[in-house]
Amino acid sequence: MRCRQARRRMILPEAAADRSLREHVASCPACAEHWAALARLDRAIDQAAEADRLDLTPLPQQRKLVEARAARLGRAVAAPVRLRPARRLRWGAAALAVAVLLLLTVVPFSYQRTLGYKVSICCVEADLALEGDTICDLFYHLGLDEANYDVLGCDSTCKLMIVDLRSREEVEQVVEALRELTPQANATSVIPVTSSESASLLHRALRRDS
């Protein structure tokens, strides 16, 4: 069973009795954490609902209490007293807040993380492309110590693939610098290098800001 199929089955009512699902969870730490997070979410919502049930005075009883107090004060109650279920609203909001908190901090989601970029550049003069020291010096002066390149082929000019660029800004820097050395150089494609990862929404936001 694949992880995506397992996580779809986790939300079904019969998930606890699904033998193949339990076997997959037992062998997959990521899915085990996902199932545990769903269980914590269910417990938090159940606890909020139970507290709501125990703490809430029924509306008919509240109405009778208010009418009795009004009668004791000699006030005529001309119309039924309407009370807003404030406590129910308050506990409902608490349950929603707990659910949102768990969703943000605990439940993992799969997403594609961009690790860097590579760019294909055509029409680079052969002397420049095949004499590697010049391009390596270019990377050094731009502060791109991790950048590297491959020559994909040469005819009258060469085509390069520059890799290990960390941002689109670095892609633009490299392309502009190469154009100063060989004006006909032209970027034909910019390709993001991605990785499939799993993390909570909060962890992903913190990683993006760091």
> Cα(60)–Cα(82) distance, rounded to whole angstroms?
10
**Are the beta carbons of 162 and 174 closer than 8 angstroms?**
yes
Which two three-digit tokens encode residue 52?
């709501």
pLDDT at 2: 81
Please answer whether residues 77 and 123 qualify as being in contact, where contact means their C-beta atoms are separated by less than 8 angstroms. Answer: no
Query: Position 131: which residue type?
Result: E
Contact status, residue 66 vs residue 59, Cβ threshold 8 Å: no
Q: State yes or no: pLDDT of 135 exceeds 50.
A: yes
Q: Which helix (H) or strand (E) holds 60?
A: helix 59-72
Nearest to 114 by CA among 197, 3, 171, 210: 197
**CB-CB contact of 142 with 174 (8 Å):** yes
What is the model's pLDDT at position 207? 58
**Over the stretch 42-94, which tens digit does the pLDDT of each residue have?**
776 666 655 555 455 565 665 665 566 555 545 444 444 444 554 454 555 56
pLDDT of residue 60: 64
Locate tokens 């594609």: which residue? 112
194, HSE (Cβ side, Cα atoms, 13 Å): 9
What pLDDT band is residue 192 in, cutting at 50, 70 and 90? very high
Cβ burial, residue 59 (10 Å; 0-12/13-18/19+): middle
Of 146 and 83, more confident: 146
Residues in the chain: 210
Maximum Cα interatomic distance, the chain, rounded to a whole number of Å: 105
Highest averaged pLDDT of the listed ranges 36-40, 84-88, 110-114, 146-150? 146-150
The pLDDT, as a whole number, for residue 79 is 44
Which has more pLDDT, 13 or 181?
181
* Residue pLDDT, tens place only, 147-191: 999 999 998 899 999 999 999 999 999 999 999 988 999 999 999
